[in-house]
Amino acid sequence: MKEHIQEQFKNRFGTDSVVYASAGRINLIGEHTDYNGGFVFPGAIDKYIMAAININGTDKVRVYSMDMDAYSEFGLNEEDAPQEQWARYIFGVCRETIKRGGVVKGFDTVFAGNVPLGAGLSSSAALESCFAFALNDMFNDNKIDKFELAKIGQSTEHNYCGVNCGIMDQFASVFGKKDCLMRLDCRSLEHEYFPFHPEGYKLVLLNSKVKHELVDSPYNKRRESCERVAAKLGVETLRDATYTMLADIRDQLNDEDYRRARFVIGEKQRVLDVCDALERGDYETVGRCMFETHDGLSRDYEVSCEELDYLNDVARECGVTGSRIMGGGFGGCTINLVKEDRYDNFIATAKEKFNKKYGHEPEVINVIISDGAHKVED
């Protein structure tokens, strides 16, 4: 990919270039925990946005997107925002860097990627992190710290792309490390690396390619349930709640709020259990926790859907080690940890059965935990 992008760059702009990349991400476990002050557990994957860049001595950014086959040109002031959505990610990163006192000058760039768009792997965070990292390296002697780079990406989504996202995606894309997952404490923002190199297993996503649009803002309703229970318990967030505390106030809660809180409390513990298991290299426990998360998301938190529950059932039938819905819910992917000798049968069965029932095959996305934002050396 690197040589190809650099060649395109040379053809278009006539100079050599330096290449940067950043990754999409998965989240192994820790769902709907961020706004409850809990933990998430993401890792960067071997799917990248890659950009060839060279300083051009002007006050303009000139950018060609290979995947969109489209060109955009913009200045670096607030009023220079480009129309194209894909270019706004890059413009936003420039602006957010400048707002933080960083230096950005005109540059030329050609970029491309292989992070599937809109599949829940955060291609947008990969794009932001790639350019945030590059601008830091090219213009700022790498003086902007990594957490700030992640925040530059997050603010780009908030201020230039209309997406009110948390910090996990950009964090994972910037901090990602080969063969490591990262436990991010969403309350303190502390993070810790844990080894993840499941020898003899594969990590594979099955994209259902369905997205159920729900009218009654289910995300806000889940949040409200959690906040109500936390308030009744007198804690700031459900991070500080336990099953025992919940049991003590059960008769003061409606069944729905009770089950929402039960999921969140369990999910916090499962992330910690998975971290312990990884330190022992115990991938069977990891898998069991993933299934438990799926059940919790489906029955207690009620953010699954028929198609994803079906993919989860098929995974169980095929002897997959762990499987769960990944992301906010109501569609998208399942993430599956599967022994190599069961992989072929699982994929074939899932494709066939899902196709028979829903009229299309799920998209198969194999992932390997890899490095996040970096300069691509020769």
Instruction: Please report, as ranges, the residues that interact with Mg ion according to CB under 5 A.
Output: 124
> Could you tell me the smallest distance in angstroms from the CB atom of residue 127 to Mg ion?
9
Binding residues for ligand ADP, rule CB under 6 A, total: 18
Q: Is 86 in the site for ligand ADP (CB under 6 A)?
A: yes
Question: Would you say 63 or 229 has its CB closer to ligand ADP?
Answer: 63
Q: Bridge partners of 374?
A: 21
Q: Is 65 in the site for ligand ADP (CB under 6 A)?
A: yes
> Could you tell me the smallest distance in angstroms from the CB atom of residue 278 to ligand ADP?
26
Residue 335 identity: I
Q: Is 247 in the site for ligand ADP (CB under 6 A)?
A: no
Q: Is 42 in the site for ligand ADP (CB under 6 A)?
A: no
CA angle 82/160/224 to nearest 5° reads 155
Please answer whether residues 171 and 150 qualify as being in contact, where contact means their C-beta atoms are separated by less than 8 angstroms.
Answer: yes
Q: Is 124 in the site for ligand ADP (CB under 6 A)?
A: yes
Q: Tell me how far apart the alpha carbons of residues 34 and 42 are, in angstroms, rounded to a whole number.
A: 12
Longest dimension (CA), the chain: 72
Q: Which of 15, 58, 77, 85 binds ligand ADP (CB under 6 A)?
A: 85
Q: Is 68 in the site for ligand ADP (CB under 6 A)?
A: yes
Q: Which of 117, 189, 231, 348 binds ligand ADP (CB under 6 A)?
A: 117
- For residue 167, what are the CA distances in angstroms to 15, 35, 47, 159, 244? 36, 11, 19, 14, 30
Q: Is 211 in the site for ligand ADP (CB under 6 A)?
A: no
Question: Would you say 124 or 323 has its CB closer to Mg ion?
Answer: 124
Q: Is 329 in the site for ligand ADP (CB under 6 A)?
A: no
> Could you tell me the smallest distance in angstroms from the CB atom of residue 229 to ligand ADP?
29
Place of tokens 């969109």: 68
SS3 state of residue 52 = strand
Please answer whether residues 290 and 28 qualify as being in contact, where contact means their C-beta atoms are separated by less than 8 angstroms.
Answer: yes
> Could you tell me the smallest distance in angstroms from the CB atom of residue 284 to ligand ADP?
30
Q: Which of 169, 257, 273, 371 is catalytic?
A: 169
Phi first, then psi: give them for residue 193, nearest 5 degrees.
-90, 145
Using the 8-state DSSP alphabet, how is residue 361 labeled? P
Q: Is 120 in the site for ligand ADP (CB under 6 A)?
A: yes
Please answer whether residues 125 and 175 qualify as being in contact, where contact means their C-beta atoms are separated by less than 8 angstroms.
Answer: no
In the residue annotation, 169 being an active-site residue is answered as yes
Please answer whether residues 31 and 263 qualify as being in contact, where contact means their C-beta atoms are separated by less than 8 angstroms.
Answer: no
Residue 366 identity: N
Q: Which of 123, 136, 208, 298 binds ligand ADP (CB under 6 A)?
A: 123
Catalytic residues: 169
Contact residues for ligand ADP, defined by CB under 6 A = 49, 65, 67-68, 85-86, 89, 112-113, 115, 117-118, 120-124, 127
